[in-house]
Amino acid sequence: MEKTESAGGVESLTILGTGPAGLTAAIYSARANLKPLCVEGVQPGGQLTITSEVENYPGFAEPVMGPDLMTAFRKQAERFGTRFFQGNVAQADLSKRPFRLLMDDGREILTQALIISTGASAKWIGIPSEQRLMGKGVSACATCDGFFFRNLDVVVVGGGDTALEEATFLTRFAKSVTVVHRRDQFRASKAMQDRAFKNPKIKFVWNSVVDEILGEKAVTSVRLKNVLTQDLQELKAEGVFVAIGHQPNTALFRNQLNCDETGYLITQKGSTYTNIPGVFAAGDVADHVYRQAVTAAGTGCMAALDAERFLESGE
């Protein structure tokens, strides 16, 4: 079977997203001569483009900047013939093949196979200082950035499993960790709560939200507001970890593909197959557990191999 772009403007394989999952899928499928079309989406390069140094991506003895790592992924994908397409998909019709993607500027892509690697986006508090100090003390990933807060005071915002897991993890580095939660009860599992309550480095501020993150060039403190009394207090902190959940970028597909209750795509065990033959999912869009660049890249590779076998089978 001809593996390259099919006749009549129908792509063999289209990949949505250019984070570690999408670009790894592109590298593998381009090397398999599928000439993939990779749609860049709203945040080219994905979540790593908003982190600073990456120290845990295997193969780099020295830290690498997140945006530089993604540029290298992209160049590698280009070298084997990946074609990049700038734009956002507004509608997807997966009811029959070729699948049809309609871009928000009216362009259309028809494709025999589709890899969805649109990622997940961290939810943010939504105050301007949070955006201004992003990567300068504000982070949404303790695993990525915790190491930079050795012997410093940090705040974790949220009351779910992620917040308490990140708070516990951060105690390995930080001098103190203060969990700020908007209610007086956590929604995290009991085991996670017990572990956090027992940790002498973790303090708790209840019924409070972050009103402002303060600091000129980097975070120096946070202003907290008690939601019951409206009282304000300032707390010294060099780091603010926002852990109020992630949102998988699956809005386009929720009525066509099987998703869990929070919207993550469900894949068949041990593969990247979704419930629609020819549609594959890779990376954070289908993973709320690991959420690492290296695991996303791993599932991107799996998706490319699954798509290649699917196209070869001529199903």
Q: Which residues bind ligand NAP (CB under 6 A)?
A: 125, 157-163, 165, 182-183, 187, 209, 244-246, 288
Distance CA 1, CA 61 (A): 42
Residue 122 CB, shortest distance to ligand NAP, in Å, is 9
Distance CA 223, CA 212 (A): 5
Spell 2-36 as b/e; 16+ CB within 10 A means b: eeebbeeebbbbbbbbbbbbbbbbbbbbbbbebbb
Assess whether 259 carries a catalytic annotation.
no
- The strand ranges marked E within 42-173 are 53-54, 64-65, 83-85, 89-93, 99-103, 108-116, 120-122, 138-139, 153-157
Per DSSP bridges, beta strands 99-103 and 108-116 are antiparallel
CB-nearer residue toward ligand NAP: 71 or 143: 143
Q: Which residues contact 273 (CB under 8 A, 6 or more apart)?
A: 267, 280, 306
Residue 210 CB, shortest distance to ligand NAP, in Å, is 8
CB-nearer residue toward ligand NAP: 209 or 276: 209
Residue 159 CB, shortest distance to ligand NAP, in Å, is 3
Assess whether 38 carries a catalytic annotation.
no
Residue 308 CB, shortest distance to ligand NAP, in Å, is 32
Which position among 141, 259, 287, 306 bears the catalytic label? Answer: 141
Which position among 38, 145, 287, 306 bears the catalytic label? Answer: 145
CB-nearer residue toward ligand NAP: 107 or 187: 187
Assess whether 141 carries a catalytic annotation.
yes
CB-nearer residue toward ligand NAP: 172 or 187: 187
Q: Which residue is nearest to ligand NAP (CB)?
A: 160
Q: Is 124 exposed, middle or buried (0-12, 13-18, 19+ CB in 10 A)?
A: middle
Residues forming beta bridges with residue 5, ordered by sequence position: none
Residue 41 CB, shortest distance to ligand NAP, in Å, is 22
CB-nearer residue toward ligand NAP: 92 or 224: 224
Distance CA 172, CA 251 (A): 37
Which position among 144, 153, 284, 287 bears the catalytic label? Answer: 144
Q: Any idea which residues carry the catalytic annotation?
A: 141, 144-145
